[in-house]
A and B are shown apart, each in its own frame.
Chain A
């Protein structure tokens, strides 16, 4: 079966760095997405990785290792507004998105 694993919840301190991991097992691979979802709102697109390596976009970076079936989202200089759920999703061989359950990130002052 297809499976996306990410931690249920993480806590970090304002100004610090946090890494949210995602491991996957899917039938085929056409890229991995990270989305941010604030409570009561729809997800917003953060990043897309299809090749191995690190993609940096401001305070957020996303890493992919296809051989390990592993990705992480790195958030630097955490702000209170970063408190949200972070969803990892993999596009399989049928170009369908397989969603993880999301990681709820709690930022403390």
Chain B
């Protein structure tokens, strides 16, 4: 159980285009999903916390107009990188928090999306 999928796994795009990344919890409902970014050989950096049916909470320094997050259902959150630039190239990882008896708070991660902006 607690499987999270992410799509696409890898994307290459031209500078100025927008890229949408989907994160799905496959076998559980996730009221909260998280979006992280990780540059090579660096630790995870939380970008935003996404709650179903409400606006995402962004971490300091993360532009909400550039990184659009939508959490329309208990199993799906999307991150759209708008007008992507080469400096946005990174490994984007989502996670979903399980809300179930006896398992409060564990985050399960999707496989990640590697974005390369040319």
Contact = CB atoms under 8 A, between A and B. Distances in A.
Interface of A: 30-31, 33, 35, 40-45, 48, 87, 91, 95-97, 99-102
B69 to A, nearest CB: 16
30 contacts: A30-B104, A30-B105, A31-B104, A31-B105, A33-B106, A33-B107, A35-B109, A40-B91, A41-B111, A41-B112, A42-B109, A42-B110, A42-B111, A42-B112, A43-B93, A43-B109, A44-B109, A45-B106, A45-B107, A45-B108, A45-B109, A48-B106, A95-B105, A97-B34, A97-B105, A99-B43, A99-B46, A100-B43, A101-B43, A102-B43
A44 B3 CA distance: 11
A87 to B, nearest CB: 7
Contacts of A40: 91
Nearest to A99: B44
Say what secondary structure dominates the interface of chain B: strand
B49 interface: yes
User: Which one of A40, A42, A96, A102 has the greatest number of beta carbons of chain B within 10 Å?
Assistant: A42
A102 B38 CA distance: 12
Nearest to A30: B105
Contacts of A99: 43-44, 46
Interface in B61-118: 91, 93, 104-112
Given A33-B107, A97-B34, 8 more contacts: A31-B105, A33-B105, A42-B93, A42-B110, A43-B44, A45-B107, A97-B105, A99-B44
Contacts of A31: 104-105
B107 to A, nearest CB: 6
Nearest to B34: A97
A96 B111 contact: no
Given A30-B105, A31-B105, A33-B106, A87 B112 contact: no
Interface in B18-70: 34, 43-44, 46, 49
A102 B43 CA distance: 7
B98 to A, nearest CB: 10
A77 B104 CA distance: 30
B21 to A, nearest CB: 13
